[in-house]
Amino acid sequence: MEYALQKKLVEAILFLKEEPVKAERIAEIISLSKAEVERIVKDLQEEFARSGRGLQIFEVAGGYQMGTLPELAPYLERMYSEEVAGNLSNAAMETLAIIAYKQPVTRMEIESIRGVKCEHVLDSLLKRKLIRIKGRKEGPGRPLIYCTTPDFLRYFGLKDLDELPALEAGEGKGETP
């Protein structure tokens, strides 16, 4: 198959999919290697940028997904005025941050770090499918353990959890004096 056709196919697949598509999956569909697909996507990304398109291919949650350029948001928002979902609260953000870095983690562990009870926050995060219950921790009480979901990665536009910045250590004072 010609390279030009391969490129068209990759573009078409990304256009059709509403979820991030893994390079492996695209490779499977058009019988290419994963590396070839990655190269094509890179080409497409550059081409999109160069030719001034309103779309771009983003790397999200371990796959690729087409989306609009951020600078178009003020106009595009007019299309969806009533439906733009609310932002997450500070409490939700703190809780999510702890889960993202320490997963799998129990509710007690989260509460101990935040110094606040977290039941409601956990419930709403579960409802928004940003976190999930992974199972139970062995040990007394067998508490539930929580971890983040692929939707978490999508929500924040992350390729994978490694994209989270390293936690910044304290201001040089190190451990207990």
Q: Which residues bind another protein (CB under 8 A)?
A: 15, 17-18, 58, 65-73, 76, 80, 84, 87-91, 93-94, 96-98, 100-101, 111-117, 120, 155-158, 164-165, 167-171, 173, 176-177
Q: How far apart are CA 88 and CA 150, in angstroms?
A: 17
Q: How far apart are CA 7 and CA 29, in angstroms?
A: 13
Q: How far apart are CA 12 and CA 33, in angstroms?
A: 18
Q: Cβ 35 to another protein, closest distance in Å?
A: 26
The nearer residue to another protein, 36 or 97, going by C-beta atoms, is 97
User: Residue 95 carries which side chain, given as an amino acid letter?
Assistant: T
Q: How many C-beta atoms surround the C-beta of residue 61 within 10 A? A: 22
Give 1's contacts (C-beta < 8 A, 6+ positions apart): 30, 31
Q: Cβ 30 to another protein, closest distance in Å?
A: 17
The nearer residue to another protein, 22 or 36, going by C-beta atoms, is 22
The nearer residue to another protein, 52 or 174, going by C-beta atoms, is 174
* Token pair listed for 24: 């492996």
User: Residue 3 carries which side chain, given as an amino acid letter?
Assistant: Y
Beta bridge partners of 58: 65
The nearer residue to another protein, 8 or 117, going by C-beta atoms, is 117
The nearer residue to another protein, 116 or 133, going by C-beta atoms, is 116
Q: Cβ 171 to another protein, closest distance in Å?
A: 6
* Token pair listed for 94: 């703190």
Q: Cβ 145 to another protein, closest distance in Å?
A: 17
Q: How far apart are CA 67 and CA 155, in angstroms?
A: 13
The nearer residue to another protein, 36 or 151, going by C-beta atoms, is 151
Q: Cβ 46 to another protein, closest distance in Å?
A: 18
Q: Cβ 27 to another protein, closest distance in Å?
A: 21
Question: In which element (H, E) is residue 48 found?
Answer: helix 34-50
